[in-house]
Amino acid sequence: MKPLVVILAGGIGKTFSPLKINKTLLPIFGKPILQHVIEMVETADFHEALIVTNPENELWLSTYQPFNITLQTIVANPRGMGDALLQARESIGSRPILIINAVDMVEPSFLKTLMKPIQNSYGFITGLKIKRNISAGYIKENNGKAIGIVEKPTPGNEPSDMVNLIFHYFSEPEDLFTIMNKIPTSDDQYEKALTELMAQRTIDIVPYNGSWSKLKYPHHVLDMMNLFLKMNKVNSVARSAIVSPHAVLDGFIIIDENARIDAGAIIRGPAYIGKNVKIGSHTLIRQSVIEEGSIIGFGSEVARSYIGPRSKLHHNFVGDSVFESDINPSWGTTFANWRIDGNNPRLLLPNCSIETDGKKLGSIIAKNVFFGVNCAVMPGVTIGAGAKIYPHKVIAVAVCENEVVK
């Protein structure tokens, strides 16, 4: 019996600030993340999914037509993963379940490999071996079986080198719900219940060795983008797209419907050029995603960046940055991605800063931000929705929502 796939998509994404979009609806390759997850489940030949969602996702789902899977939804306002599952308890019933987090993305082929352990296991969780400490739950194991989950251990105190990915199977989910119902509602209610269940029953560990990305903080949009770019191994130009014979396309590139690539443009793949996008003359795009309706104007360079819908660039440099949507950087504005002292950039928020992993990180810009000419935005800066930056400003600290910098 194939399990009911339970997709958790009801969170509000408090850590995704300054970006305003519901993270499960963030478009990559022209589709919301949630649609990619549904299609991944569908491709793996699961027949039914229950999506624990919120009103915004529910509205989008009401317009979505899947090909070969039956979707149910339950609107919830959960306080953590455990609360979300308990709110879906009645809809789940006694059926076996496979739990997936809507903002976790793996290589789609992995789900197909789960059929064998599903047939032979009371329950399993998925583990990914990593070489460095990350902010995640780590699996405590004994002889290949899971015996606990340790949330966000400090470096050197990890119980193993394996982090917990939310691809969890339970043949008898009522056992988990019974335990969870006795634990007070909290962010780690599910993990506490799971650890208690591990003490009572055998929970296997299914290893995953491929690429993985999770949307937690706003700069993780770049990680998610890179995962999709890495997985694309085709060149595709829509019939309605117009590509100048004097443009240079190098590597795996998708050019979507009604896009236009002008003479002298250079696109180095992997890259995605969305619907109705215009790429002007003498532009350079490297390993980036340009979403629907955006314009990359004359002389601009976009490197390893996510440019959200309807953004308009004018002779800009954008490095390792995230533009949510409807961003207008006027002529000459630059988004720097490398600290002069060589240290890793920190993500700069209005009330705190967050450590990042890489040497390069540009800016995180929420929707509807306007920049005057010749501004310079320093590495790691975040700018809130609706902000306005006057010409010639150097922005080295976070800018709040609707703030005007003169």
The predicted-structure confidence for 116-167, as pLDDT tens digits, reads as follows 899 889 999 999 999 888 888 999 999 889 999 998 899 999 999 999 999 9
Q: What pLDDT sits at residue 183?
A: 95
- Tell whether the torsion through CA atoms of 380, 386, 392 and 393 is positive or negative: negative
Q: Enter the tokens of residue 330.
A: 């006027």
Return the ∠ at Cα 61 (arms to 293 and 177), rounded to 5°.
Answer: 135
Domain ranges of the chain: 4-214, 220-405
Coil, helix or strand at residue 113: helix
Q: Quote the strand ranges of 153-247, DSSP E.
A: 162-170, 203-208, 212-214, 236-237, 242-243
Compute and round to an integer the Cα radius of gyration of the chain. Answer: 22
- Under DSSP, the state recorded for 95 is S
Strand partners, 140: 148
Beta bridge partners of 149: 139
The rounded distance, in Å, linking the Cα atoms of 98 and 88 is 13
Residue 210 gets which letter from DSSP? S
Q: In 209-342, at which residue ranges do the beta strands (DSSP E only) sit? A: 212-214, 236-237, 242-243, 248-250, 253-255, 260-261, 266-268, 271-273, 278-279, 284-286, 289-290, 295-296, 301-303, 306-307, 312-313, 317-319, 322-323, 328-329, 334-335
Class of domain 4-214: alpha beta
* Residue 2 DSSP code: P
d(C-alpha 371, C-alpha 334), whole Å: 10
The string of pLDDT tens digits covering residues 223-248 is 999 999 999 999 999 999 999 999 99
CA–CA dist 329, 373 (Å, integer):
7
Class of domain 220-405: mainly beta
- End-to-end Cα, the chain, rounded Å: 63
Q: What is the pLDDT of residue 79?
A: 84
Here the tokens at position 293 are 């309706």
Let me know: does 303 contact 313? Beta carbons within 8 Å: no
The one-letter code for the residue type at 359 is K
Q: Are 110 and 128 in contact (CB under 8 A)?
A: no
Q: What angle do CA 116, 119, 124 make, to 5 degrees?
A: 80
Structure token pair of residue 269: 């793949």
Kind of pairing between the strands at 328-329 and 271-273:
unpaired
* Torsion-angle region of 208 (φ positive above 0: left; ψ -120 to 50: alpha; else: beta): beta
Facing residues of 31 across strands? 28
254 vs 240: CA distance, rounded Å: 13
Tokens of 49: 């999914």
- Provide the pLDDT for residue 144: 86
pLDDT value of residue 20: 96
Residue 221 corresponds to which tokens in the numbers above?
Answer: 């949009």
> Distance of CA 73 to CAs 10, 181, 194, 244, Å?
10, 22, 24, 45
Rounded CA gap, 392 and 395, in Å?
A: 10
Who's near 401: CB < 8 A, 6+ residues apart? 18, 366, 384, 385, 386, 387
Q: Yes or no: say if 379 and 338 are a contact pair by the CB < 8 Å rule.
A: yes
Distance CA 84, CA 78 (A): 5
For the chain, residues with pLDDT lower than 50 are: none
Cβ(274)–Cβ(256) below 8 Å = yes
